[in-house]
Structure 1
Amino acid sequence: MKKIDIACIIDDDPIFVFGTKKIMQLANFCETFMVFRNGKEAYDKLKPIISSGEKLPDLILLDLNMPVWDGWQFLDEFIKIPNDRPITIFIITSSVDPADVIKAKSYDAVSNYIVKPITIAELKKMME
């Protein structure tokens, strides 16, 4: 399995973020983390990084239900940013709404839809 350099977590739940970081460390999943509490904060920080050509996250774990900007608002704006280097996006959410699953499939940038909590087995699948 290839270790990821930077993983980005966009989620407003501090317990989920803490647990996910712990699981990632146990799985030797990544070197470092970027964490954002909502889609707007993530967009505002990631857009200049992309524009300047700095090191980007290899992977984004995106929650859907957040304040300020939810996951859909983030995705709608994020995919408009010109970027030569693809970033793998996984929606990690508590939503089991079939409409959300269908909507997620309409985004080419979204690799998978995973219902919380995330497991070491799912992280290993992401690394493959």
Structure 2
Amino acid sequence: MNKKIKLACIIDDDKIYVNLVRRIIETKKLCDHLLIFKDGKEGIDYFETLLQNFDKEQLPEVILLDLNMPVMDGWEFLERFTKIKNKFNSPITLYVVSSSINAIDIEKAKSLSSVQNYLIKPVKIDELEAVFNKTA
């Protein structure tokens, strides 16, 4: 039997996309709780603060990361996140979820050790289910 994801995280500035994915996750009961950040800076601030006051219950098991965002984009988030990820001593599965179909973006993201895979928006329900079931 699969272990259910307790906490997942979406880092994306597209409110419509975020609401759609949130509703799918809630309807399909893919995880218990969801963190939502509107840009990479909010996301990295959360993880850097968590490092100082580490509580495993507050660490998401899955991150869905957009690339194109204001303030701090997904690439900048990945650069900083990659430097601190191993300090958590817990598996965190990160998926880049972007509308970019640029092969350079896809290959660059997939080449990073912290990125599990690259999904193209709009994400299909079965893709989301696979993300959460693969991690569980």
State TM-score, norm by structure 1: 0.94
Deviation string for 1:23-75 (max 9, x for gaps)? Answer: 11121101011000100111011211133221200100000000011000000
Q: Which has the higher helix share?
A: 2
**1:33 aligned residue:** 34
The separation in 2 between residues aligned to 1:3 and 1:29, in whole angstroms, is 7
Q: 1:35, 1:71 → 2: CA distance?
A: 14
| Cα deviations by residue, 1:76-121 (Å, 9 ceiling, x for unpaired) | 0011112211210000110000000110122111011000112221
The runs of 5 or more residues in structure 1 that have no matched partner are: none
**Equivalence for 1:19:** 20
Once residues 86 and 113 of structure 1 are traced to their aligned partners in structure 2, the CA distance between those partners, rounded to angstroms, is 18
TM-score (norm 2): 0.89
User: Does residue 100 of structure 2 align to residue 86 of structure 1?
Assistant: no
For 1:10 and 1:36, locate their aligned partners in 2 and report how far apart those are by CA, in whole Å. 5
1:122 aligns with 2:123: no
Q: Is the 8 Å Cα contact of residues 7 and 59 (structure 1) preserved in structure 2?
A: yes
Alignment identity in percent?
44
1:59 aligns with 2:62: yes
Q: Give the superposed CA RMSD.
A: 1.1
Query: What number of residue pairs does the alignment pair up?
Result: 128
CA distance in 2, matches of 1:86, 1:48: 18
Matched with 2:79 is: 76
Displacement over 6 Å in runs of 4+: none
Q: 2:3, 2:124 → 1: CA distance?
A: 17
Q: List gaps (5 residues or longer) in structure 2.
A: none
